[in-house]
Structure 1
Amino acid sequence: MGSSPADTIPPERLAGKVAVITGAGTGIGAATARRFAAEGAAVVLTGRREEPLHAAAEGLGERALCVPADVTDAAAVRGVRDAALDRFGGLDIVVANAGGHGVGAATDVDDAAWQRGLQANLNSAFVTARETLPELRSRHGCMVMVSSIAGLAAAPEMCGYVTAKHALIGLTRSLARDYGKDGVRVNALCPGWVRTPMADAEMDELGRLHGIGRQEAYRLATKDTPLGRPAEPEEIASIIAFLGSADSAVMTGTVLVADAGAGAVDLPTLAFTP
């Protein structure tokens, strides 16, 4: 059997680093906070809901600080940044993981829903980047943008989400080009299906359509991927930790895909699959 990400954590690879993680209360964000702390980093967990943040930080001790904030608001992000500076003395890594919203085909999406999708998935990352870049520039830090395979191809009836996640890759490349000269690296990660509360809700909806349970829905959603399964949040967190570490020192403007091989599949040949 292969090793799990928890079995292969490099000792203290992120020692002395300070990270801000948005959307840190659940799923990928919470797993990333745990992974960073395990690798020696101090972590600032932020998100709109206070209770999940504290649950995610449980057991991390003095290496973790919870700062509830809406990261689409510039003043709130500055508050998160300042909390990191006051508590830990600096800021080296920013993980822009907050997201959500953006469901519906174009003719079903009103102006308010469109703006919610952009705010949650694109503006949150842009505002977080803009307000933390001065500190990242001063410490030659890095940023990881959590996009999605929806940033590379279109899912059905997800117009706002797909558009924002595509734009997030453009933002990654723009930041990488403009601030590489200052020693700042910016990379994007595009996960496929990951077992998170948001994905669980989507699987429950898929299950209702087919009269099956959540686990069967995950199997249905991933049956045509080469690995045939969703990722666990910890598996995605291990990739984010790599992008935040010196092991990826020559990488910037890069888009990494972690989709169980979905993007390698030639869709028109699925009919020939035994």
Structure 2
Amino acid sequence: MTRFANKVVLVTGGRSGIGAATAARFAADGAAVVTAQRGADPAHEWIEADFLDPTTPERLVAEVIRRFGRLDVLVNNAGLMREGTALETTEEDWAATLQVNLTAPFMLCKHALPHLIAAKGAIVNVGSIEGLGSNPRHPAYCASKAGLHGLTRALAVDHGQQGVRCNAVAPGWIDTELNVAFIESLGDPETFRAGIGDIHPVGRTGTPEEVAALITWLASDEAAFVTGQVWTIDGGRMAQLSLPKS
């Protein structure tokens, strides 16, 4: 497919997990892809980026424009999760989580918008079902993702008439490298896999490629009338009411 031919796409956190699958999908569809994260990306052009550094977003967008002269799609995928209840979460943990998950995406959008307006481009933010509900011990993460969902709607409202669409995806449990490693670290990973499958109506967890397919569709002309939406992709998990264990 060549639906992104002659388009330039920036994917943050594009070296692994959902980001890597998204970058690969855009590249397969003809885009020039740049990823941004700590460390090299052997699959695509890349830029070193630390999203805890507040100067990173402006520098990152400027470097993409320097290399390619345009920007058509921004995918804010890089994220940070630090666990702890409100009593356990330090101010540093709170600030770092919001910086990476919410402030950096906002600043990336801010600096990218003039170029996206010129290109009539698109933004896709990677939120989470934890912006809609909560797992235990995730106050900072949930707040940051709920904020990202709100930012998505605000950008769509403010910049739709300038030709920029903005949507978000809210993934549930996805089999990224980190999640797979977490399962394998448990004492009984097979029992955990069976249990986590049971809380999804489709009977399984998701893959990064499935999320990437939604992200690329939202960025494409096929979704030209879609903006300001948060698309849940969770195998039905949020739709299923829980029952007491038998």
State the TM-score, normalizing by the size of structure 2: 0.94
Cα distance in structure 1, aligned partners of 2:231 and 2:27? 23
Which residue of 1 is the match for residue 39 of structure 2? 50
Question: Is the aligned partner of 1:29 residue 2:19?
Answer: yes
Matches within 5 A, 1:51-66: 51=40, 53-54=41-42, 57=43, 64-66=44-46
Residue 263 of structure 1: CA displacement? 1.4
Q: 1:221 aligns with which of 191, 196, 215?
A: 196
Identity of aligned residues (%): 39
Contact 1:74 1:128 in 2 (8 A): no
1:170-190: CA deviation from partner (whole Å, max 9, x where unpaired): 110111111111111000100
Q: Give the structure-1-normalised TM-score.
A: 0.85
What are the equivalent positions in structure 2 for 1:1-274 lying under 5 Å apart? Answer: 11-47=1-37, 49-51=38-40, 53-54=41-42, 57=43, 64-204=44-184, 207=186, 211-213=187-189, 215-267=190-242, 270-271=243-244
Shift of 1:252: 0.6
User: Contact conserved, 2:11 with 2:74, CA < 8 A, in 1?
Assistant: yes
Give the C-alpha shift of residue 202 in structure 1.
3.8
Partners of 1:185 and 1:161 in 2: how far apart?
25
Q: Take 2:210 and 2:12, find their aligned partners in 1: how far apart are those partners? A: 18
Instruction: Count matched residues.
Output: 246
What is the CA–CA distance in structure 2 between the aligned matches of 1:218 and 1:181, rounded to whole Å? 46
Runs of 4+ in structure 1 over 4 Å off: none
Distance 1:122 1:262 in 2: 24
Q: Distance in 2 between matches of 1:115 and 1:235?
A: 31
Gap runs ≥5 in structure 1 = 1-10, 58-63
Query: Does the Cα contact within 8 Å between 1:72 and 1:128 map onto a contact in 2?
Result: no
- After superposition, the C-alpha distances for 1:132-191 in whole angstroms (9 at most, x for unaligned) are 111111111110000010011111111111111111101101111111111110001000
Instruction: Name the amino acid aligned to 2:231.
Output: L
Shift of 1:271: 3.2
Compute the RMSD of aligned alpha carbons.
1.7
2:58–2:107 Cα contact (<8 Å) kept? no
Match of 1:7 in 2: none
Q: Distance in 1 between matches of 2:175 and 2:82?
A: 19
Aligned to 2:244, what secondary structure does the other structure show? helix
Contiguous gaps of at least 5 residues in structure 2: none
Matched residue of 2:9: which SS? strand
Q: Distance in 1 between matches of 2:81 and 2:199?
A: 26
SS in 2 for 1:108: coil
Over 3 Å counting, the alpha-carbon distance change for 1:124 and 1:197 in structure 2 is farther
Residue 201 of structure 1: how far off its partner (Å): 4.3
How far is 1:74 from its partner? 4.9
Higher helix share: 1
In 2, Cα distance between equivalents of 1:197 and 1:161: 19
In structure 2, what is the equivalent of residue 5 of structure 1?
none
Q: Secondary structure at the match of 2:55?
A: helix
